[in-house]
Amino acid sequence: MIKKKRLVDLFMELVTIDSETKKERKMADQLKTELENLGLEVHEDNAGENIGGNAGNVIGVLKGKVDTPSLLLCAHMDRVSPGKGIEPVLKDGVITSKGDTVLAADDIAGVAAILEALWVIKENNLEHGEIKVLFTVAEEGGLHGVKNVNPEEIRADYGFCYDSSGDVGTIVVQGPAQYRFEAIVKGKAAHAGINPSAGINAIKVASLAISEMKLGQIDEETTANIGVIKGGQATNIVPDRVELLGEARSRNRKKLEAQVAHMRDILERAAAKFGAEVEINTQLMYPSFFFSEEDPVVIIAKEAAKSIGIETNLVPSGGGSDANILNGYGIPTINLGIGMEKVHSTEEFITVENLVKAAEYTVAIIQMVTK
């Protein structure tokens, strides 16, 4: 029932619309029109105002059978840089960019799959429960759009995000929580040539701490990283201030708390050793989620895949997505593989086969909960 040409044409059109993070205005306007043409009740929230962007989340509601579980279908509108002036190229069943930008299959493939599935439902008059669609802004770099949505506007029995690599049939059932780790090391300035012993070198303190921290792949569920270091003024001044920015992630909350405590302890010990001061701030950026094969949302996904001959692969993830926040809102949500590959690079691509399968899978999910 999927109209392949319509789907591919839609994808190729949408990726050409500039829609970098917090600059999704044109994309939001286009998607509101697309959803209205499909008969959904559509509105845009005020997330853009809250995050300093020029557009809010787009929310659509398609009423359905009241005795059928409701669904939330979610994808994000923004893409990473370089994401302006994208020129998609279709060759031998594979869609790429011209080579100087990303393709933005992350996450326009998800957007297009959802829209095509809704067209199939409409054109074939297929029965369905209430379907809510959430197209978020500013997912990249912080999940800012979904964090600023009103949960009551998107409340549903089951949620499906379309934002994972891997062939269609990949189901992300575990996602980590993440802490942001920020620290300021305060030493003491002095002339580096005349009287260096009068100073306290903040870079040295930070270096010692980082060298003793457990970073990288801590275990199969936990990672940590110090990714940004800022400090120093000149070579002849003992640096008195260094800023560190890092993170820790884990699918196990106890392990995550332990890792953050470890990073804090190491930094405080290094500061005390040299007589420096340190300010540390941590912030939980998003919660973890975990589903087993017996959870209803996973059963729906597996049975829907089986009904159209797609093999499923249940996997954990080391990254965050809108699904983390939606689960935090109490909406059981899994993240689906949609076939996008080499995302966040100019080599990003997706096959037409996976694009079509993603739309077919969405129709199958909608039909599965209607049975």
Catalytic residues: 78, 139
Contact 116, 38 (CB under 8 A): no
What's the rounded Cα separation, in Å, for the pair 282 and 320?
Answer: 17
**Which among 143, 203, 204 is positioned nearest to 333, based on CA atoms?**
143
- Residue ranges with strand state E in the chain: 41-44, 58-62, 71-76, 88-91, 94-97, 131-136, 158-165, 170-175, 177-186, 216-219, 222-231, 241-250, 277-286, 289-290, 313-316, 333-340, 349-351
As to burial, measured by CB atoms within 10 angstroms (0-12 exposed, 13-18 middle, 19+ buried), residue 117 is buried
C-alpha 30/C-alpha 11 separation (Å) is 12
What is the number of alpha carbons within 13 Å of residue 29 lying toward its C-beta?
A: 7
| SS3 state of residue 240 | coil
- Provide the CA 240 distance to its chain's centre, in angstroms: 37
Residues annotated within a binding site: 344
Annotate 210-249 with b (16+ C-beta within 10 A) or e (fewer).
beebebeebeebbbbebeebebeeeeeebbbbbebebbbb
Please report, in range form, the residues annotated as the binding site for Zn(2+).
Answer: 344
Q: Give the 3-state secondary structure of residue 249.
A: strand
Burial class of 311 by CB neighbour count within 10 A (0 to 12, 13 to 18, 19+)? exposed
Contact 202, 240 (CB under 8 A): yes
Residue 313's DSSP bridge partners are 170
Name residue 185's beta-bridge partners: 242, 278
CA-to-CA distance for 229 and 245, rounded, in angstroms?
7
Compute the radius of gyration of the chain from its Cα atoms: 23
Query: How far is residue 138's CA from residue 165's CA, in Å, rounded to a whole number?
Result: 19
The rounded distance, in Å, linking the Cα atoms of 175 and 10 is 30
